[in-house]
Amino acid sequence: MFRHVPNLLTTGRLFLAAVFFALLGCYQYANPGSPALLNVAFIIYLIALVTDFLDGYLARLWKVEGAFGRVVDPFVDKVLVIGSFIFFAGKNFIIPAPEIGPTGKYVVYTITGVVPWMVVVILARELLVTSFRGLGEGAGQNFGAAFSGKVKMVIQSVTILVILVYVNYFAPHQGSGYEPYVRAFRVFCVWATVIVTVLSGLAYVRRAVAVYLKHGQQPAATVSE
């Protein structure tokens, strides 16, 4: 019976991701954006983070680690993180009243601080690491989880939660109270996410090159992101 619990938690997290994205999608149709939607989204994401810890912990505790969890668990993590940043860079969170820029054209920006090129960087890193993983499985290579990858996931998740709190409680009152300080912290988290994502990707590249130099074959690494 225990064998299936971690896999059920992983599958449940995929369902939570669907609910989370549905809430973010509905947010754009509320006028103004309903705080309740983002409050529920915040709770859903927290639950998803807890299940992410539990499924791996229980699988190791009960010694029921298998191919399903090894493949699906990082897949669900990528869906949650990349999907969140795609939404944050999209029309759901565009400032409704753009300002006129120096050129006389409208300046449109997102209230989350996330822009499309950042999503491209995050997606490119994940595709690169996944490619190493696939090559590694084919060549019989195995790399353990890199510490930088774990740090990357933690920072990305914290940033997502910070953005939800900022948009829901501070963005409607820009320039007043603690809003400038919270906005500065949001900006710090977003840029920290981008920087750590790039650095963790480079760490996997170095490990793949090390395997290539050691074994004299194409870079390949099975990684746990």
Tell me: the pLDDT tens digits for 166-183? 999 998 888 888 999 999
pLDDT at site 153: 92
pLDDT digits (tens, 9 = 90+) for 144-174: 556 788 899 999 999 999 999 999 999 888 8
pLDDT at site 48: 95
pLDDT at site 104: 63
pLDDT digits (tens, 9 = 90+) for 7-36: 899 999 999 999 999 999 988 776 556 889
Token look-up 């493949």 returns 71
Q: Which CATH architecture has domain 2-215?
A: Up-down Bundle (1.20)
Is 101:107 a contact under the CB 8 Å cutoff? Answer: yes
Helical ranges in 89-178 per DSSP H: 116-139, 147-165
User: Any residues with CB less than 8 A from the CB of 178 and at least 6 apart, and which?
Assistant: 170
80 vs 75: CA distance, rounded Å: 9
3-state helix/strand/coil string of 115-134: CHHHHHHHHHHHHHHHHHHH
Token look-up 């709770």 returns 43
As a whole number, the mean pLDDT across the chain is 84
pLDDT at site 206: 85
pLDDT at site 220: 45
Three-class secondary structure of residue 223 per DSSP = coil
Is 107:184 a contact under the CB 8 Å cutoff? Answer: no
Is 161:32 a contact under the CB 8 Å cutoff? Answer: no
Cα 118–Cα 51–Cα 112 angle in degrees, nearest 5:
25
This prediction's pTM: 0.87
Residue extents of the structural domains in the chain: 2-215
pLDDT at site 2: 66
Number of Cβ within a 10 Å radius of residue 153:
22
